[in-house]
Chain A
Amino acid sequence: MSVNLEHYLIVGAVLFSVGLYLALAKRNFVAVLMGIELMFNAVNLTFVAFSRFVRSPNPLDGHVFVVFVITVAAAEAATALALAVLLYRVRDTINVDRIDLLKW
């Protein structure tokens, strides 16, 4: 029994799909953001798995990418949650079903 690249890629794929479902289907804005964070995590996991297993002259470049992704994800989380709070102040709800100003 051994663990290799495919195992990690499948874990990453499952994690990504769960995050995608959360981001698409949840009603609460914060839950949508949680889905997006899970997707970031899945992508990071895939990066690190590739950097561990795949032939490459600079194998640690994958880790550098992950560091950048984490940085951007942190910035994204801060801004998006500020948006959630602002949305709540203006519209009194963070239910994405009811944020439909552009519908008409």
Chain B
Amino acid sequence: MIRLAEWYDFRDLGNTVGSLLDQIRDWGAPDWVPYVVSGLIGVVAILLWTVLSVLAFIWIERRVVGLMQNRIGPNRVGPNGLLQPVADALKLLFKEPITTREADRILFWLAPIVVFVPTIVVFAVIPFGERMVLADLNVGVLFLIAVGSLNTIAIFMAGWSSNNKYALIGAMRTIAMLISYELIQVLVLLAAVLFVGSMRLGDIVAWQAGYGVWLLFLQPLGLLGYIVSGAVEMNRSPTDIAEAESEIVAGYHTEYGGIKFGFFYQAEYLAGFAIAAVIVTLYMGGWTLWGVEDWVPGWLIFLAKLYGVFFIYIWSRGTLPRLRIDQLMAFAWKFLLPLSLVNVIIIGGEKLLWQEAELSSGEALPLFAVVNWAVAVVLIVGWAWVLGHQRPERVAHRAVLTQEVGAIHFGEPAPTV
């Protein structure tokens, strides 16, 4: 890949920043100035991009979900409702910040800020383009997991300090969920790291570009596990039991209004983008696209993939009903955990086979892809069968829940209608 290192070569914005830094060095600034400036440029760029994307996607999501649900969605503010997010943001800004009685004021004010940090920090290790990464850590994948686990603390702070039982219930639910799904996330990412042989995200992208194959084709079970656990981590419908409106008002941010609620709202979107960015980087080749990245800017490819993955989440939000907490927990522990363990074993065995039998990558990778997809389908169907979903459930003609409210049907035959 030949890169023109001129500043106007915007196929890789790293060129522009690099020549700017060279310019600063030429002016005779001390060593730390370009260092700090490059960090600042990265941070500001990421912040700008996230804020703009969130504003855009608030509108897109509401319109798309509206279309899916056979209604119109926001269409009053500006042409086609385009200014709706701006109006929402202004409304949130000017609302009175209310603090509940006997709330833990310090934590109550701190929580919306803290919830922002883990989601925004994820973008520091994501390679947006060939040289467009703020910090390509050696332990990038582990960093993602570690930062993801910090979410729990912010959510607990919000739920605890509100002095509201629904908020506390929501916080405890979130923590239980996040801890359960973190396990799956770790196992799934372990399989990916095991196969590629590096925890550096840049290396994983380079590996996929080098062999011309996305990990998505080699590890379908891993992708499934990561998509589901990502959905849980970003706390959106259908897995938003932490803020299930029909059960516990709004969960941990029940008592938050005004711009503090706006922070939570935006952090939710940012978490979505972060998960989508990780999926794109790990499973879909990052900023590469089989040679197209020589002609189209890599960061555009990356963003296109990212928005595509995020669309899956919008789609599932628009079409799937919310799961109950016991269903979601059972899904984590009984279904995804065994499957991801099997996934790790299979991937490890294949890696060993590849090395020991001295297969060429042209022989090994297609073989592994076919085997893994077959195994994934067999395992998903078979394990669901073992767990008691022998028949596909029929469409209910009348409400089943009115007969047995609160009964848990997981693992036993569904009630016949």
- A and B directly contacting (CB within 8 A): no
